[in-house]
A and B are shown apart, each in its own frame.
Chain A
Amino acid sequence: MTTTLIDTASHQAGFENKLLMPAWAEVVKITPEAEGVTTFALRFTDPEVQKRYRWEPGQFNMLYVPGYGEAAISMSSDVSSSNGLVIHTIRQAASVTKATNRLRPGDVVGLRGPFGSSWPLEAIRGMDVVIACGGIGLPPLRGALYAIMREREKYGKVTLLYGARTPKDLMYPDEYETWNKAGIEVQATVDRGDETWTGRVGVVPMLFYHFRVDPHKTAVLTCGPEIMMRFVIYEALARRIPASQIYVSLERNMRCGQGFCGHCQMGPYFICKDGPVFPFNRLGPFFNVEEY
């Protein structure tokens, strides 16, 4: 099980001994990322909460839009930059996330969090790192990317494998050069390209074909559609990377974030508190069981 290093309980926003009680946060900035995907920068309206709030890459908040309800959204920024703002990159898909379409700077939303486990940035020190993600799976890993960049010398070769549907669906494209310069090899691929796209066309798991891994000192962090993660796992296992070094971020119906409401269960796990990040050896028997 991956656990957080900070005692998140003492850095949490919201609830104040009341069930599902959010802390208000003001929308500071709204940035469109791609078709149907928007980044919101938020600041807690209560300075005490703002001061206390801390999180680790891979964790998530429950974002509350009054009148609509809550949705689980990962933090997508660097932990130690963005002036303490909470950055959420949201795919505006279901009712709550669609409601964020109407937000304007100055509006407030509710936040509770952070919840869940984080990427094992300590445990994978000294290893080569393959970050394999697709679509809206990149935002939850962006904080991990920046954390690695900040202490770049503590990791071996770092490769980002990123896939999206089309070139215009690739998120944070302006940052790839910075990442490359900081020593992260960015390999992007799309399912289909037009005539102007000179990058790769293909799928994320097959990006493994383009480099060699040293299985014992390689860790894989993956987040994206479950079908994509499955094939990433197959490719990693085929290269003899131990299951304990493959970290998977799962998505289930997270409603409370505290392991109470029952919706996000998979086998013995509450994905919201035991996950969302799991080493694959812990998931083995339950992952990819039809409808489990």
Chain B
Amino acid sequence: MMNEKNLTIGSTVALPKAELDHLLADLRSNGYQTVGPRLQDECIVYKEIESLQDLPRGLLSEQKPASYRLIQTGQDRYFDFIPAGQSWKQFLFPPRQHLFSAQKNSSEVHAEGHTAGRNTKWQIKADDAPTPRYALVGVRACELAAIAVQDRVFMRSDFTDPIYRARREGLFILAVNCLHPNATCFCVSMGTGPRHKAGFDLCLTEMDDLFLVEAGSELGLSLLARRTYELPSAFVQTAANRATELAAGKMGRSLDTSDLPGVLTGHLDAERWNQVAKRCLSCANCTQVCPTCFCWEAFDKTDVLGNKTSRERVWDSCFNPNFSYVFGGNTRPNIRSRYRQWLTHKLGAWKGQFDVLGCVGCGRCITWCPVGIDLTEEVAAIRQEVKA
């Protein structure tokens, strides 16, 4: 047994797998909603989990353009799949969020000079639901990078999204190092993974019989200190390092990021946009599964009489036909211009806006595109066309 006093941020311990259960319980008893991977509809999704029992066990996810399959490995391992169908952004930036409601409060007009009749006043009531405190269990390096990207979008010096900030500030991140990248992964190209560097509270590397756990914050440290753990043997540490190094070599895809904003925004008239527009269905799947896409729309839900209205925020997508509507029509009425907007934003304009690219290399948009459009292939084709 290691003495808790010897533990510091950056320390790594060997944690028996069952201890993770206690750690989850500890988080829950401290007011966290623990969310993590769960099997649902033959897909791994991120939902509330109560214990280790809820985690998928012995599953690999095989992802290809427009294809997602789970494979049984029979191994007693929890985190071998690669990023789930959904991303974590649903917890910080909810897909549907009530903002406020307003109630009509009409009154007789007595004041002079006013037209006789009733005046319309409104009583507003802000959403007062308590902000959930989430503990995210099993966050990959690409996913943590995506959270960092959205931090830059929603928590800026000029404006901050209060909903995002409140959830982000209460967040606990239990990260996991990805050991089985797959055909759609390219986090190495984007410089985001597969190994975690910082930004987590705790970081797991899953071995066959135990977790190697690195403490990344005071909070993580104090949770870890309450568990039963051992010092990791040199053998285990070497094996873990070897596994993460091997993982970096398993990238199924790559993306040349050199001068990416220039290549894309400098060639808005490339022929390739016409080609991809013929395949793209403008279904918006890519933007919904993307962990960094942040566009949203707000609208009023009104009762039949128009006396009560509820204002909601929902995810939107630059692929939706009315996304760019201005009085008189859509700025981008065609799929070509919408796909071009998405890609030139994510891999180009984003850099100018937030000083980071909008892609972390998770590959979700490739997997979940119903026609298998692959952004790495599109970028390569545009580079090729530009060079020719």
Residue in B99, B104, B318 whose beta carbon sits within 8 Å of that of A21 in the complex: B99
- Mask, A2-38, CB within 8 Å of B = 1, is 0000000100000001111110100000000000000
- Mask, B300-330, CB within 8 Å of A = 1, is 1010001001010100101000011111000
Beta-carbon contact of B298 and A289 below 8 Å: no
Beta-carbon contact of B309 and A21 below 8 Å: no
Q: In the complex, identify which listed stretch (B84-92, B109-117, B187-195) lies at the interface while the others stay far away.
A: B109-117
Number of contact residues on A: which range applies?
A: 35 or more
Q: How far is the CB of A21 from chain B (nearest CB, A)?
A: 6
- When C-beta atoms are compared, the residue in chain A nearest to B351 turns out to be A268
- Mask, B151-166, CB within 8 Å of A = 1, is 0011010110111000
Report B-chain residues with C-beta under 8 Å of the C-beta of A106: 109, 111, 114-115, 119
Question: With A20-B311, A270-B353, A291-B333 given, is the CB distance from A66 to B99 under 8 Å?
Answer: no
Q: How far is the CB of A179 from chain B (nearest CB, A)?
A: 27
Tell me if B64 is interfacial: C-beta within 8 Å of chain A: no
Tell me if A200 is interfacial: C-beta within 8 Å of chain B: no
Q: How far is the CB of B319 from chain A (nearest CB, A)?
A: 12
Tell me, in angstroms, the Cα distance from A66 to B337 when the chains sit together.
33
Beta-carbon contact of A255 and B297 below 8 Å: yes
Beta-carbon contact of B124 and A24 below 8 Å: yes
Residue in B100, B115, B153, B318 whose beta carbon sits within 8 Å of that of A260 in the complex: B153
- When C-beta atoms are compared, the residue in chain B nearest to A270 turns out to be B353
Tell me, in angstroms, the Cα distance from A69 to B300 when the chains sit together.
6
Question: With A19-B163, A107-B119, A107-B120 given, is the CB distance from A261 to B306 under 8 Å?
Answer: no
Tell me, in angstroms, the Cα distance from A19 to B126 when the chains sit together.
9
Q: Which residues between 107 and 150 of chain A lie within 8 Å of chain B, taking CB atoms? A: 107-108, 110
Tell me, in angstroms, the Cα distance from A261 to B102 when the chains sit together.
22
Q: How far is the CB of B320 from chain A (nearest CB, A)?
A: 10
Tell me, in angstroms, the Cα distance from A291 to B331 when the chains sit together.
5
Beta-carbon contact of A94 and B327 below 8 Å: yes
Residue in A105, A263, A289, A291 whose beta carbon sits within 8 Å of that of B323 in the complex: A263
Interface class of chain A by DSSP: loop
Report B-chain residues with C-beta under 8 Å of the C-beta of A273: 158-159
Beta-carbon contact of B349 and A267 below 8 Å: yes
Tell me if B272 is interfacial: C-beta within 8 Å of chain A: no
Residue in A108, A260, A263, A285 whose beta carbon sits within 8 Å of that of B161 in the complex: A260
Q: How far is the CB of B297 from chain A (nearest CB, A)?
A: 7
B interface residues, tally (CB under 8 Å): 61
Tell me if B334 is interfacial: C-beta within 8 Å of chain A: yes
Tell me if B376 is interfacial: C-beta within 8 Å of chain A: no
Report A-chain residues with C-beta under 8 Å of the C-beta of B9: none
Tell me if A47 is interfacial: C-beta within 8 Å of chain B: no
Q: How far is the CB of A151 from chain B (nearest CB, A)?
A: 29
Q: Which residues between 61 and 120 of chain B lie within 8 Å of chain A, taking CB atoms? A: 99-100, 102, 104, 109, 111, 113-115, 117, 119-120
Report B-chain residues with C-beta under 8 Å of the C-beta of A261: 295-298, 316
Beta-carbon contact of A259 and B117 below 8 Å: no
- When C-beta atoms are compared, the residue in chain A nearest to B261 turns out to be A268
Beta-carbon contact of A291 and B334 below 8 Å: yes
Beta-carbon contact of A108 and B302 below 8 Å: no
Tell me if A50 is interfacial: C-beta within 8 Å of chain B: no
Tell me if A209 is interfacial: C-beta within 8 Å of chain B: no
Beta-carbon contact of B296 and A292 below 8 Å: no
Tell me if B32 is interfacial: C-beta within 8 Å of chain A: no
Beta-carbon contact of A108 and B120 below 8 Å: yes
**Could you write out 25 A-B pairs with CB less than 8 Å apart?**
A19-B162, A20-B100, A20-B298, A21-B124, A67-B302, A105-B115, A106-B114, A108-B122, A252-B324, A252-B331, A255-B297, A256-B296, A260-B296, A261-B295, A263-B316, A263-B323, A265-B345, A267-B352, A268-B265, A268-B353, A270-B353, A273-B158, A285-B265, A291-B337, A292-B331
Interchain residue pairs A-B with the least CB separation, the first 7 = A268-B352, A262-B295, A291-B337, A106-B119, A258-B159, A67-B302, A268-B349
